[in-house]
Structure 1
Amino acid sequence: MKDVTMKNTMMPLKLLVVVLLSVVIPAYAQSSASAKASSASVTGGTKPSLTVTATQVGQSQMSTKLVANGSVAAWQEAIIGSESNGLRISEVLVNIGDVVSRGQVLARFANEAVSADVAQAKAALAEAEATAVEATVNADRARGLQASGAISKQQIGQYLTAEQTAKARVAAAKASLDVQQLRLKYTQVLAPDSGVISARTATVGAVVGNGAELFRMIRQGRLEWRAEVTSADLSKISNGAQAIVIAPNGEQIQGKVRMVAPTVDVSNRTGLVYVDLLQPKDKKQMHSFKPGMFARGEFVFGSSQAMTVPQQAVVVRDGFSYVFKLNADQRVTQVKVQTGRRMQINGSEMIEILSGVNAGTQIAASGVGFLNDGDLVKLVTASSSAAAPVKK
């Protein structure tokens, strides 16, 4: 009786175990298959290596420029020297940086000795003129008596000779007076032209010789930029071409080509282009340019249509420039390109593409420094792109 009861009790338990096994085993198998598939996906290398944004090779209007470096110099620098010999400087009226006009007195020499020489020359002239008047009267009287024979021909000749001699002495006295008056004039040092005093060696009390330098002056305050241009580019520049010159502090000023040097330096194969710096309306802007300073500039020749890409879309490797072309399978192809001009367009730095890709080609615009040929990438919009490598 007990055996029958136990058999009846075990039957439901066996049925319950069979049902549980039929449910658990398929679920476990399905979970294991999913895990294996996921693992195979990860190890299969199909995960994108980088998240990038895309752009197209576009067409833009770019100005044609030639960049050069050079020095700022005075258009002409006048050296103002002493024309008096052995005189003491009594007064210096200007200093470095002063703006002067033509004929303005810059310095004075002590003129007491020269004034005395002028007075002596005037007295000598007056004496010579009085002697000449007497000699002329005697000569006229002798001419009147020549026909009567009252005096000899020898005496008449002496009177006429005395007249000529007296007149010659008057001319010599006048010349001597002119010399002394010129010396008196030279006791004042005058500006030969309008301009700016750039150097001064004149000192009160100094005794200087004839020809000694006293001042240097930038004539008319005009400055020029002497750009160094390679011999290959000299032919592109002509007189009257426009230029933009940039000072070390970033200030810009307009310039105009005055002359292209007729010769080229044999040591570095460059020639000088002389660019007049145009006076701006704001005079403070001109203060950023000083003679002797280094400046860079650009010659502007016009504009032309060009293929352009953003600067960040170009990567330089081994001395060559590359872009990464986006393919339909979301992989990139590294393409070698030749670059040209650079220009700010709508606040972005753009680079001209001369060859390698065509207009309209879709390329990676960000994170190109991390890419390699054939990489799988993920495209996102510019606002959501982090432009950083994805961890594998």
Structure 2
Amino acid sequence: MSLNPQTLIERARANTGLQEFGSAPFRQSLDILCSSLREEARLSEEGAAKAEALLTGHLEERLRLEDFISRHPEVLDPPVAPAIFQIGMPRSGTTALAQHLSEDPALRSIPRWESKRLTPPETGSHGEHDPRIAEIRAEFKEAFAEMPWRQKILPNNYDDPAEHGLLMALTFLNLQWPTLFRIPTWTQWALEQDLTPGYQYLARVLKVLQWARPAMRWNLKLPPDLFALEAIAEVFPDSIFVWSHRNPVAAISSVCSLCAQVREKQGGATVDPLEIGREQLEFQALGVDRAMAARDRLGEDRFVDVRQADLGRDTMGTICALYTSLGLEMSDAYRANLETRMREKPRGRFGAHDHELAAYGIDEADVRGRMARYVARFHPDLALA
């Protein structure tokens, strides 16, 4: 495998016919990521080719975005609309919450088809003839056929709201990489970095997306945001955080299962479940630790808490209570859309996601012990177990 960063950069330039990546940083992170992928990720030949294609795709998208901005500099003039950042550990209900909020006409989400092709066409953006929609719909259909387990774990489609990790990946400061690949050197480096430049670039891209379709308020969601709440608050001063909570024992078990399946599919190699268990418990617990410390400094008025169990048991009531806490109107149009979604896309419609914590070499006591402060505050019944 090569995974040479300069080769990938030259390939992206050749594929697009463009040269300028803009001034936002990306090279140091890309260099370390490529080194970590070569030396630590245990990629098969097929896995290395997939990794190269993934990184090259991000470089190409950044070239296209910067070219678009150079031709339409006015898109950067308006401020980014206020944002609701949905935070929480992976597998804690953030996907379901983001999907429910995406039904509100007053909120602007990033549909998955848009996140895959961020640069808008010059005309017809978001219209029925937007060429990106049919292209990404076909990609999702192919992915469902190739990975039938995916909908059980991540029940979403091409038009559901995406995480903004694909936007963060344009600076390669995206803490989703450690789920996709075994990259301990890059992970340790990234955890020591100031992630503010990544969120500044996120704001830059959101301005482009606002040009394509205006936003009154953004509906944004990315679990690794837990690591960078103060950077988010600095870049997005009007933001509010909605923290989704789930029993961390169940959440860690589920995220280990997801990580194992994604790495095996992405990297084409056998994974070590015991290594994943230790790694993911520490990584996710560290994110929660940092988020709780940031919450103490930012103040409780920036946060609203939602429990996955409540969302599943009484979706409408939980959303109504959330909107009251946020000071937002629950419009008739939103209520009707949400009722339609709950009826047409019921929870668990693709089957249950089965996972066992013991398969990853850790147990409930390990999770409760490592996450003792979080458990004591948000899951006191679990603390007494």
> What band does the TM-score fall into relative to the shorter chain?
under 0.3
Query: Which one has a larger percent strand, Structure 1 or Structure 2?
Result: 1
TM-score (norm 1): 0.18
Query: Which one has a larger percent helix, Structure 1 or Structure 2?
Result: 2
